[in-house]
Amino acid sequence: MDKTTITREIPDDLVQERISKLQLEMGKKAIDGMLLTQNIDLYYYTGSMQNGYAFVPAEGMPVFFVKRSLERARLETLIAVEPLGSFRQFGQTLAERIPQLFKAGGSVTVAADLDVLPAQTYFKLNQLLQSAGAVELVDGSALIRGQRMIKSPWEIKRIETAAKAVDEALGEALNVLKEGITELAWIARVEYELRLRGHIGLMRMRGYNQEVATGMVTSGAAAAVPTYFDGPAGGLGLGATFPQSVSHRVIGRNEPILIDVGCCIDGYIIDQTRTAVIGQLSEQLAHAYRTSEEMMRAAEKGMVPGTPCSELYIASLDQAAAAGLSAHYMGFGLDQAKFLGHGIGLEIDEWPVLARGFDLPLASGMVLAVEPKFTFPGQGVVGVENSYVITDGTPRQLTRTKEQLIVLP
């Protein structure tokens, strides 16, 4: 193994800061240990997503128990890396390695990322942990997702790198967006350009059953076809086994082309949408498109620390109503999505969500993709999506692509 090629990517002090912050929050919730199981959570807290389990005690040093590759994990993280060994012995391994917690004899509350950990593995782990002591294995995912909401400058720089790549890739691909190309053929070109710029080839979603390739390019009526995907636009897709996003449909004149495409570079995601048209939009769709830009301006004003997330969504509903577009806002009929925006970072569906029930106030360092869109069955979807980081003042836009209706001849 050429060791010169693998180095620690995350600054050491950032990992230490994240662990300390997690331990502080664990203390508040009387959680004695956090068991990290998911690759993204492992990466966030250790800098490595090798195969294994990381254990963070509320006090003291964390340990990353690695199954594979031990050698690579040791190069990627400053956290102590130890062989996972026999999975059946994991309880004993843990008890020996973290004696201050498990050998004291009392009941131990261990939290894990149960929003993603499969139930089958949960039951196995829960059983194995009993041999470490009287362990209660509870859900710690809210702690993790809560902490991950606030991005460090180091993370924001990575999101900006992704934003630059998608802007450049779209610029290249727009040269071949012409009447007669299929949605699939055009996204193929966008993805090619993204890949050349370092896109890892997939976008990570935390939600069960949710998946996204690079996003969607959907045109005219195909864009307005409803689907299972929890977003404002569905897309006809490539059949029942991929019932969203691009289809084999040929892109035509005078219909909206929704370009909701992101990428993932060095683990960090950008998400943005632009609307294009070859020719011109109908007056109704043009009105809806203009409204989406106006809603973006209103959202920008509201995106300051202290504003409850839900407030921005409710304001957007009012604004859609005032424009006479309530029925079309974020989907149509039974299939309207119930949010205005969402956190992005290592995953595309991070916290916070600009939605009812999400009353958490915005805070500096949160990164949000805001995406007011309007769906017209039989005609298409129009809208715009930008990503922003919340600052102490006005939000700073991370999306680089010029915000305007892209009109092609």
Residues 107-126 that bind its own copies (CB under 8 A): 112, 114-123
Beta-carbon contacts of 161 under 8 Å, excluding residues fewer than 6 positions away, are 198, 265, 266, 268
Contact region with its own copies (CB under 8 A), list: 35-43, 84-92, 305-313, 394-402: 35-43
| 3-state secondary structure at position 269 | strand
| 3-state secondary structure at position 306 | coil
290 touches 327 (CB < 8 A)? no
For residues 1 and 30, which CB has a smaller minimum distance to its own copies in the complex? Answer: 1
For residues 187 and 315, which CB has a smaller minimum distance to its own copies in the complex? Answer: 187
Element (H, E) at 51: strand 51-57
Q: How many residues lie near its own copies (CB under 8 A)?
A: 83
Among 54, 135, 222, 390, binds its own copies (CB under 8 A): 222
Minimum CB–partner distance for residue 293 and its own copies (Å)? 27
For the CA atoms of 392, 398, 402, 405, the dihedral, rounded to the nearest 10 degrees, stands at: -90
Contact region with its own copies (CB under 8 A), list: 17-25, 225-233, 250-258, 273-281: 225-233
Minimum CB–partner distance for residue 25 and its own copies (Å)? 18
Minimum CB–partner distance for residue 211 and its own copies (Å)? 6
Among 76, 155, 160, 271, binds its own copies (CB under 8 A): 76
Residues within window 227-266 making contact with its own copies, judged by CB under 8 A: 227-228, 230, 234, 236, 238-243, 245-248, 266
Residues within window 390-409 making contact with its own copies, judged by CB under 8 A: none
CA angle 56, 62, 63 (to 5 degrees): 110
Query: Is position 223 an interface residue for its own copies (rule: CB under 8 A)?
Result: no
The Cα 89–Cα 223 span in angstroms is: 52
The Cα 110–Cα 32 span in angstroms is: 6
Block residue for tokens 């939290």: 111
Residues within window 264-303 making contact with its own copies, judged by CB under 8 A: 266-268
The Cα 160–Cα 259 span in angstroms is: 19
For residues 17 and 318, which CB has a smaller minimum distance to its own copies in the complex? Answer: 17
Element (H, E) at 145: helix 141-148
Minimum CB–partner distance for residue 191 and its own copies (Å)? 6
CA distance from start to end of the chain? 53
For residues 38 and 399, which CB has a smaller minimum distance to its own copies in the complex? Answer: 38
Residues within window 302-331 making contact with its own copies, judged by CB under 8 A: none
For residues 102 and 268, which CB has a smaller minimum distance to its own copies in the complex? Answer: 268
The Cα 331–Cα 233 span in angstroms is: 6
For residues 36 and 405, which CB has a smaller minimum distance to its own copies in the complex? Answer: 36
The Cα 339–Cα 9 span in angstroms is: 34
For residues 167 and 403, which CB has a smaller minimum distance to its own copies in the complex? Answer: 167
Site string for its own copies, 153-172 (x = CB under 8 A): --------------------
Residues within window 191-220 making contact with its own copies, judged by CB under 8 A: 191-192, 195-196, 198, 200-202, 204, 208-209, 211, 213-214
Q: How far is CA 137 from the centre of its chain?
A: 26
Beta-carbon contacts of 14 under 8 Å, excluding residues fewer than 6 positions away, are 152, 154
CA angle 175, 176, 181 (to 5 degrees): 155
For residues 22 and 269, which CB has a smaller minimum distance to its own copies in the complex? Answer: 269
For residues 132 and 187, which CB has a smaller minimum distance to its own copies in the complex? Answer: 187
Minimum CB–partner distance for residue 2 and its own copies (Å)? 5
90 touches 73 (CB < 8 A)? no
Minimum CB–partner distance for residue 288 and its own copies (Å)? 18
214 touches 356 (CB < 8 A)? no
Contact region with its own copies (CB under 8 A), list: 20-28, 46-54, 144-152, 288-296: 46-54
